[in-house]
Chains A and B, each alone.
Chain A
Amino acid sequence: MTPSAADLIRVLPEIIWCGFGVLLMLLQPYLKNRQGLTLFAMVGAAAGTLATYFGQMGTGFFGLIQFDTYSLFFHWLVGLVAFLVILASDSYLERENLAPAEFYALILFATAGMGVLASAQELLTAFIGLEMSSISSYVLAGYRRDAVKSSESAVKYFLLGSFATAFFLYGIALVYGASGSTNLAQIASADASSNLLRLGLTLILVGLGFKVAAAPFQVWTPDVYEGAPTPVTALFSAGPKAATFALLLRIFTTIHAATDFWFWAFWILAVVTMFVGNLGALVQTNVKRMLAYSSIAHAGYTLVAFAAVTTMKLDPETGAAPAYAAVLFYLLGYSLVKVGAFTIVSEIGGQGERYLTLDDFAGLGTRQPFAAAAMTLFLLSLLGMPITAGFFGKFYVFKAAINSKLIWLAVLMTINTAIGAYYYLRVIVVMYMREHKGDVPAEAATSLSPTAAMVVAVAALATLYLGLLPNHVLGIVLSQNLILSAR
């Protein structure tokens, strides 16, 4: 049984990403020029993303992967994130004096893993994707190996991550025991009332909940995000998270066994995650760590849309398309904003990431008007203010929740938004309304490097575009009914 050419083309993005990763490592001894490697890696990321153009819609590899508009969307998302993160890393790697080739290769391998996650139609394939992205992530987290925090981050991520992977794997085993298959479509037709199946799905939820940093599986997030090199943090908070959410959504909408049960699971996860993230962020004085907590909170907001999806499943009349669209739109807007925000944090941090506290951001509005303005835009987007991507993201999640008559969940989300206002606003306040205490260190006073500025500009423009003219993207995400029709 050799795979057909059409099947190979369906995984062409992953092949290209992996291929460029290998090439980067091979080229390293010959290509000493960092910028050349950066460019090469960017070409790789872009080529993989564009390769989706050739894929035919449909199931490939005997039902292992599903190439539909849904996975297409997430391929574009993770490809774009990888592209931006590589561009943003250029100046960081120079500043920290780190070897670029392996760094970029790992990013590309991780991206390939995310691509597999987004298109997996079978649980073991999903597991491979998860491992590809996770193992690359563990290494990336500890890439700044001279720094204690970075090593701590890597070890912590690795230990807890392996633990979560074990949960996921055990869940697959139980699901297989209950349904006799690891293929989503076949599991969907298994006896829905089986306790074994439910237990298996619960373990899968725990495993994936860890990867998206949903409380109570979020404890690793602040430390890992804080310790990892900042461009890597940007990647963590955007790419793997979006891809894991993609898998989670695919699993829990294809297998609609005991939907009631999932509704409450997501409801509780969403509420706990929102509160843990927001209350945790309130007391942070380190901007990087604050953004880590904020990304926990945002996982909670996304889970609100999940709860809406599962309720809508109960009622075939309304259809869940708007709720899917809410998840996709939210993840897109959120990922771009997070990449932009972490890029600014990375640049302000200076060598050795020394300037990350709120005090270091004081007076940024006068020192670096562009960085401060962009940061303000990103923070307002995270807060969900109008004319930014975050507003429409939050708006659609709200709308999905209310459509499903989850008024209480919407109200709790409202309260969380108001809590969030405090800590996002605090950074803006510090940037514009406080003066820097004492002299500004010379290296912190320089403006953004050109590459980082490009990333920030792209992210900022995208944020505004999604906030002002969401029609186009909305049209794309609303056509994601394929997983609906697949079952």
Chain B
Amino acid sequence: MEFSGHLLSILVFFPAFGALALLFLRSDDEPWIRRLTFVVSVVEFLFSLILLRVVAIGAPGYALTEYKPWISSPPINYHLGVDGISMFLVILTTLLTPICVLASWKGVHHRIKEFHVMLLLLEVGIIGVFLALDLFVFFLFWEVMLIPMAFLIGIWGHDRRIYAAVKFFIYTMFGSAFMLVGILWLYNLTGTFDLPAIQLTLQSAAFHLAPRTEMLLFLSFFLAFAIKVPLFPFHTWLPDAHVEAPTAGSIILAGVLLKMGTYGMIRFCLPLFPEASHRAAPVVAVLAIIGIIYGALVALVQPNLKKLVAYSSVSHLGFVVLGIFTFQTISMQGAVYQMLAHGISTGALFFLTGVLYDRRHTYEISEYGGLATPMPKYAAFFLFVALSSMGLPMLNGFVGEYLVLLGTYQVHWGWASWAATGVILSACYLLWAYQRVFYGEVTNEKNRNLPDIDAREKWGLIVFAVITLWMGIGSPYFTRRVAAPVNAVIEQTKSRYAEEASKPAAMPQPAALAIEAQPDSLRRTVSR
């Protein structure tokens, strides 16, 4: 077997071996634990870069699939595969993990070994989620990933860490338990857990899913994903988890974990349940828009810098969900791009707040003021990242939001205009916060002699800055690679529904007539 035949398995499990190696180090051997974890995660990042070469541009379907029977009854197979969407998300994960190690170099001091083991196990879970093509395997990674994340928040977090960790765990657990019911129901209907096989079955002409069943199935998956994203009424776990998590936890949480929800929507909800997705789209879009505006407004009044960034995530992820549920190629490309961009810029923002926390042990904006004087380099980086997060052209935040709004406008101009206010509001809360933290006189004596960023922090931030700029200028590099899988998703979402719209003429059967009523109303919502 050639090497690339197992590349995906290596990608998933290499960090686990790293974690195993860590267990052999003495727990007080701080520098080597950090160095080893850093090396493992960097090597993992380099591995993941191979994907860029292996996944062909413009080719539909999955590359590098791995298939191995695992459990005989029910037939569960270890099935992995990668396409343009999951490729970038994997690379984002492997990029952020070494940065997390850097970010916690000074912030984390107790139980260092366990901390890094958890970080690497978290990476295993997340990459597994992005690569799994078997619903069961997907669910497995989805659940396994919860434990290290809850530990990261609960052990190394701040004051209310336990509350936040438990809340995070139970919220996600609640959603995913329903997803398990959905997965099993789907298995019962199709006889397999394999995602491509299920898609084939569902799309075959002989198979007809009752609208009510499809809707319930859709909801069982969607609830789990919506909690993870988090979509508006399910977002309450996020601020707590973010504020209490250690810097590394926040970076991974905002950078990658939230994307598991939107990734799930693209990968599972839309292609598997096209009609239900179309029927639910107006409601989902409105919730997304509420999330965009609500998140921005709450961010505006936050006295806590980290909470502000957390709520800005609610707002930005709203754009992603909106982009997905308008079913336009442009907006979905924008949504995928925005997922990556948000991972970088919010990851950077959390890195920056972490730098501040290491020095002053508080996130309260009122504690700061005039920081540009003692920390000029830090202030410059913060401004750069804030500008990218609020969507300044030439930086990464702009492309995603622009594409999403463009696609949304083609469907519903009202949605687009409401969502666009989110862009303005994001400028308001970020710039206002920036002004309060960095400009003016140094108001608090403790801040007068704060050291500026050191080499470690500088290199972490430089990485973020370079990627931000490159993503902003070279966005076609991403959109070209994402285009084929996105089109495939749109195709799968459309085909059945379009097919059935044209069917009644050919087959004037009562059963077919019953379906006829829906596509019309659907078309209206979509092409209004």
**B residues near A478, Cβ cutoff 8 Å:** 73
Q: Does A356 contact B (CB under 8 A)?
A: no
**B139 touching A386, Cβ below 8 Å:** yes
Partner of A398, one of B71, B111, B180: B180
**B184 touching A421, Cβ below 8 Å:** no
Q: Does B32 contact A (CB under 8 A)?
A: no
**Given A398-B181, A417-B177, A432-B151, A387 contacting B140 (CB threshold 8 A):** yes
Partner of B180, one of A414, A432, A475: A414
**B184 touching A418, Cβ below 8 Å:** no
Q: Does B488 contact A (CB under 8 A)?
A: no
Closest to B125 in A: A386
Quick one: CB contact mask for B156-191 with A, threshold 8 Å, 1 for yes? 000001100110011001100110110011011000
Closest to A392 in B: B71
Q: Does B72 contact A (CB under 8 A)?
A: yes
**B154 touching A470, Cβ below 8 Å:** no
**Given A414-B181, A418-B170, A474-B71, A399 contacting B139 (CB threshold 8 A):** no
**B residues near A470, Cβ cutoff 8 Å:** 71
**A414 touching B177, Cβ below 8 Å:** yes
Closest to B151 in A: A432
Partner of B184, one of A402, A433, A471: A402
**B residues near A322, Cβ cutoff 8 Å:** 73
**B169 touching A421, Cβ below 8 Å:** yes
Q: Does A202 contact B (CB under 8 A)?
A: no
Interface of chain A: mostly helix, strand, loop or mixed: helix
**A433 touching B165, Cβ below 8 Å:** yes
Partner of B74, one of A380, A399, A411, A432: A399
Q: Does B55 contact A (CB under 8 A)?
A: no
Q: Does A445 contact B (CB under 8 A)?
A: no
Q: Does A407 contact B (CB under 8 A)?
A: yes
Closest to B154 in A: A433
Kindly state the separation between the CA atoms of A425 and B153 in the bound complex, as whole angstroms.
13
**Given A410-B184, A470-B71, A426 contacting B143 (CB threshold 8 A):** no
Q: Does B375 contact A (CB under 8 A)?
A: no
**A residues near B73, Cβ cutoff 8 Å:** 322, 474, 478
Partner of B162, one of A380, A391, A429: A429
Kindly state the separation between the CA atoms of A380 and B146 in the bound complex, as whole angstroms.
11
**A residues near B177, Cβ cutoff 8 Å:** 414-415, 417-418
**A387 touching B178, Cβ below 8 Å:** no
**Given A433-B154, A471-B71, A474-B71, A425 contacting B184 (CB threshold 8 A):** no
Kindly state the separation between the CA atoms of A418 and B181 in the bound complex, as whole angstroms.
13
Kindly state the separation between the CA atoms of A186 and B111 in the bound complex, as whole angstroms.
65
Closest Cβ of chain A to B309, distance in Å, is 24
Q: How many A-B pairs with Cβ below 8 Å?
A: 80
**B154 touching A432, Cβ below 8 Å:** yes
Interface residues on B, range: 20 to 34
Q: Does A73 contact B (CB under 8 A)?
A: no
Q: Does A403 contact B (CB under 8 A)?
A: yes
Closest Cβ of chain A to B137, distance in Å, is 10
Closest Cβ of chain A to B261, distance in Å, is 18
Quick one: CB contact mask for A425-469 with B, threshold 8 Å, 1 for yes? 110010011100000000000000000000000000000000000
**A residues near B187, Cβ cutoff 8 Å:** 399, 402
Kindly state the separation between the CA atoms of A418 and B174 in the bound complex, as whole angstroms.
5
Quick one: CB contact mask for A304-326 with B, threshold 8 Å, 1 for yes? 00000000000000000010000
Quick one: CB contact mask for B69-89 with A, threshold 8 Å, 1 for yes? 011111000000000000000
Residue of A385, A391, A433, A470 with most partner-chain B CB within 10 A: A433
**Given A421-B173, A422-B166, A426-B166, A410 contacting B140 (CB threshold 8 A):** no
Partner of A386, one of B140, B154, B188: B140
**B residues near A220, Cβ cutoff 8 Å:** none
Closest Cβ of chain B to A35, distance in Å, is 33
**B residues near A475, Cβ cutoff 8 Å:** 72
Closest Cβ of chain A to B52, distance in Å, is 30
Q: Does B155 contact A (CB under 8 A)?
A: yes
Q: Does B144 contact A (CB under 8 A)?
A: yes
**B166 touching A429, Cβ below 8 Å:** yes
**Given A386-B143, A470-B71, A411 contacting B154 (CB threshold 8 A):** no
Kindly state the separation between the CA atoms of A432 and B184 in the bound complex, as whole angstroms.
34
**B residues near A366, Cβ cutoff 8 Å:** 111
Kindly state the separation between the CA atoms of A415 and B173 in the bound complex, as whole angstroms.
10
Q: Does A395 contact B (CB under 8 A)?
A: yes
Partner of A425, one of B155, B170, B174: B170
Kindly state the separation between the CA atoms of A475 and B72 in the bound complex, as whole angstroms.
8
**Given A399-B74, A418-B174, A429 contacting B143 (CB threshold 8 A):** no
Q: Does B147 contact A (CB under 8 A)?
A: yes
Quick one: CB contact mask for A375-401 with B, threshold 8 Å, 1 for yes? 000001000011100010001001100
**A474 touching B72, Cβ below 8 Å:** yes
Kindly state the separation between the CA atoms of A399 and B161 in the bound complex, as whole angstroms.
36
**A residues near B154, Cβ cutoff 8 Å:** 429, 432-433
Closest Cβ of chain B to A129, distance in Å, is 31
**A residues near B70, Cβ cutoff 8 Å:** 471
Closest Cβ of chain A to B68, distance in Å, is 13
**A402 touching B181, Cβ below 8 Å:** yes
**A403 touching B188, Cβ below 8 Å:** yes
Kindly state the separation between the CA atoms of A290 and B185 in the bound complex, as whole angstroms.
32
Closest to A478 in B: B73
**B residues near A415, Cβ cutoff 8 Å:** 177
Kindly state the separation between the CA atoms of A426 and B169 in the bound complex, as whole angstroms.
11
**B residues near A391, Cβ cutoff 8 Å:** 143
**A residues near B162, Cβ cutoff 8 Å:** 429, 433-434
Kindly state the separation between the CA atoms of A366 and B111 in the bound complex, as whole angstroms.
9
Partner of A421, one of B144, B170, B185: B170
Closest to A430 in B: B162
Kindly state the separation between the CA atoms of A470 and B70 in the bound complex, as whole angstroms.
9
Kindly state the separation between the CA atoms of A474 and B185 in the bound complex, as whole angstroms.
21
**B143 touching A418, Cβ below 8 Å:** no
Residue of B144, B151, B161, B177 with most partner-chain A CB within 10 A: B177
Kindly state the separation between the CA atoms of A432 and B118 in the bound complex, as whole angstroms.
13
Kindly state the separation between the CA atoms of A385 and B185 in the bound complex, as whole angstroms.
19
**Given A475-B72, A478-B73, A418 contacting B173 (CB threshold 8 A):** yes
**A380 touching B147, Cβ below 8 Å:** yes
Residue of B74, B173, B187 with most partner-chain A CB within 10 A: B173
**A402 touching B144, Cβ below 8 Å:** no
**B174 touching A385, Cβ below 8 Å:** no
Closest Cβ of chain B to A486, distance in Å, is 22
Kindly state the separation between the CA atoms of A233 and B170 in the bound complex, as whole angstroms.
29
Closest to B171 in A: A418
**A417 touching B173, Cβ below 8 Å:** yes
Kindly state the separation between the CA atoms of A410 and B154 in the bound complex, as whole angstroms.
30
Partner of A432, one of B155, B169, B174: B155
**A residues near B169, Cβ cutoff 8 Å:** 421, 425
Partner of A385, one of B144, B151, B170, B181: B144
Kindly state the separation between the CA atoms of A385 and B169 in the bound complex, as whole angstroms.
12
Kindly state the separation between the CA atoms of A432 and B178 in the bound complex, as whole angstroms.
28
**A residues near B150, Cβ cutoff 8 Å:** 425
Quick one: CB contact mask for A246-269 with B, threshold 8 Å, 1 for yes? 000000000000000000000000
**B residues near A421, Cβ cutoff 8 Å:** 169-170, 173-174
Closest Cβ of chain B to A415, distance in Å, is 8
17 A–B pairs (Cβ distance < 8 Å), ordered by A = A385-B144, A395-B180, A403-B188, A410-B184, A411-B178, A414-B177, A414-B178, A414-B181, A417-B173, A418-B174, A421-B174, A429-B165, A429-B166, A432-B155, A433-B161, A471-B70, A471-B72
Given A386-B141, A398-B184, A422-B166, 17 additional A-B pairs, CB 8 A: A322-B73, A380-B147, A391-B143, A398-B180, A399-B187, A399-B188, A402-B184, A403-B188, A414-B180, A418-B174, A425-B150, A426-B166, A429-B166, A432-B155, A471-B72, A474-B71, A474-B72
| In the A-B complex, the 3 residue pairs with the closest CB atoms | A414-B177, A386-B140, A418-B174
